[in-house]
Amino acid sequence: MRTWNLVACLVAFLTILLLSVIFQHNMFDVVGVFAKVKALRGKAQNVTQIGSGLGNRILNMASAFLYALLTNRVLLVEHETDMADLFCQPFPNTSWLLPLDFPVKNELRRLNQHSPNRYGNLLRNNIINASTVSPPSLLYLFLAFNCDDYDKLFYCDDQQMFLQKIPWLIVKSDEYFIPFLFLIPTFKQELDKMFPDKETVFHHLGRYLFHPSNKAWGLITRFYQSYLAKADERIGIQIRVFDPKASPFEVVIDQILACTLKEKLLPEVDKARFIASPSENRTSKAILIASLYPEFYDNIRNIYWTFPTLSGEVIGVYQPSHEQYQHFGDSMHNMKAWVEMNLLSLSDVLVTSSWSTFGYVAQALGGLNPWILYKPENQMTPNPPCRKAISMEPCFHFAPSFDCKAKANADMGTIFPHVKHCEDATSGLKLVNDHSSHI
C-alpha cells in the first residue's frame, strides 16, 4: 500500500486550486499589470519554464507544483506546442498553462544561465541578500543542471524566508529538485505530514498531475490490450544510450541479457533444441522494449524466436516505436514517449537505464523499484550489470553539496535519513525510507 497523508494533501491541493481559480478569473487583469508587478503584492505567483526532454519536463513540473503548494503560490507552466494533447488539465475549470499569447512570453524564453538579473548572480554581486529591506517584485531563479553554487542558495532556509516576500518567481529548471525540499527546515514539517512514506512522493504527485489525454490513453490501451494484457507477466526494459561510442550496441545488449538472466527476470533458452517440450501449464511473458533504436528489440526477439526456453515459458517481445534519435519540439515524438512511459509503468518488473528521466517517470508512476543498468565505460559491460533500486523515487542529478546550517560543503547523502545518494548518479540525491540501505 502506497500511503500519503490524505488530509494534509487535500488541504494543500484545495488551497492551490482556489488560488488557481482566482488567478484564472483575473487573467486579463494580470496581463495588463505584469509589467507593473508591484500591483500584485497581494498574490504570489510561480511561473516555471520547462526544458529538455519530456522526462525532465514532467519531473520539473512536479517539483515546481510541490514548491507552489509549500509556499501558497499559483503555479503557471510556460510550455511549447510540443506539449499539446499529452495531459488532461489537473484542475477543473481552469488551467496551469501560461497562455501561448502571453505578452512577455518571448522575454521569458530568453532567460538563461547568462542572464545578469538571475537570483544567483544578484547574490554573488551582493546586490540582494536575505536581509534586503525592500525586496523586488519579481525574481528569476535558474535551477537547471548547470546552475552554480550561488543559484543553489535557493535551497537554504534563510533564502526561502526571503523569497516568501517576492510576489513573482520565474523558475527555469530541468531537474527533479524535490529531495532537497525535504532538507529545508521551513518545509520539513508540512512535507512529513503530506508524505509519511518518503518513497512515494512522485508516485502520488505524478498520478494526480499527469493523467494521459484521451488521445494518449487510446494509444496506451490499444497497445496494452493487443500485446500485453494476456501475458502472465510483463517485463519492461527501458534502454537509453547517451554515448554510442562508450556504449556500443553489442555491449549494451550483452549487459541487458547479463542482468535479466542473472536476476532471473527472463528465462534461459535451450540452444540444443528447436522445439519446446510439451507442457500443460505453460506460462507466458511479454517483454516491452522502450528505446530509440530497433536493434535491441530485434536481438531479443530473435533469441526467443529462434530457440525455446528451458522453462517452457512462451516469450513475446514488443516495441511500440523506434525514433532513432530524440526529437526536440516534436509533439508526436513526445506523444510516443508519454505513451511508452505509461506502458512501462504497467509492467510487473522493470529494467531501466542509468540517468534516464524517462525511466524515472515510468518507475514512479507504476510504483516500481526497477533494476537499474549501470552505464558502460570504455566499451565494457559493467560487472555487476545492474542493481535493484532502493526506492522508486527519481534522482536529483545535480544536487547541492552545501550544508546551509554549517555553511560548509558536506556530503548531503549521509546527513539525513530520508535522503541518500542515487544508485546511478553518485552526485545525485533521492528520497528513501529509513530502512533503505546506503549507496
Q: What does each of the 439 residues of the chain score in pLDDT, given as a tens digit?
A: 455 555 555 445 545 444 444 344 333 333 333 333 344 444 567 777 666 799 999 999 999 999 999 999 999 998 878 888 999 999 888 888 888 787 777 888 888 888 988 999 999 999 998 888 788 999 999 999 999 999 999 999 999 999 999 999 999 999 999 999 999 999 999 999 999 999 999 999 999 999 999 999 999 999 999 999 999 999 999 999 988 888 899 999 999 999 999 999 999 999 988 887 777 668 999 999 999 999 999 999 999 999 999 999 999 999 998 765 555 556 788 999 999 999 999 999 999 999 999 999 999 999 999 999 999 988 899 999 999 999 999 999 999 999 998 899 999 999 999 999 999 999 999 999 976 444 4
316 - beta bridge partners? 286
Task: For residues 254 and 302, state if they share a domain.
Answer: yes
Q: Does residue 268 lie in a domain region?
A: yes
Task: For residues 224 and 288, state if they share a domain.
Answer: yes
Q: Does residue 314 lie in a domain region?
A: yes
337: DSSP letter: H
What domain range is 140 assigned to? Answer: 6-209
Task: For residues 160 and 188, state if they share a domain.
Answer: yes
pTM to 2 decimals? 0.89
Q: Which residues of 204-243 are buried (b: 16+ CB within 10 A; e: fewer)?
A: bbbbebbebbeebeebbeebbeebbeebeebbbbbbbbee
Q: Does residue 182 lie in a domain region?
A: yes
Task: For residues 148 and 234, state if they share a domain.
Answer: no
Task: For residues 198 and 259, state if they share a domain.
Answer: no
Task: For residues 198 and 221, state if they share a domain.
Answer: no
Measured distance CA(258)–CA(253) in Å, rounded: 8
The number of domains in the chain is 2
Measured distance CA(358)–CA(56) in Å, rounded: 8
Task: For residues 262 and 188, state if they share a domain.
Answer: no
Task: For residues 171 and 256, state if they share a domain.
Answer: no
The domain boundary, picked from 181, 209, 237, lies at: 209
Task: For residues 190 and 272, state if they share a domain.
Answer: no
Q: Tell me the CATH number at 299.
A: 3.40.50.11350
Task: For residues 179 and 269, state if they share a domain.
Answer: no
Task: For residues 198 and 220, state if they share a domain.
Answer: no
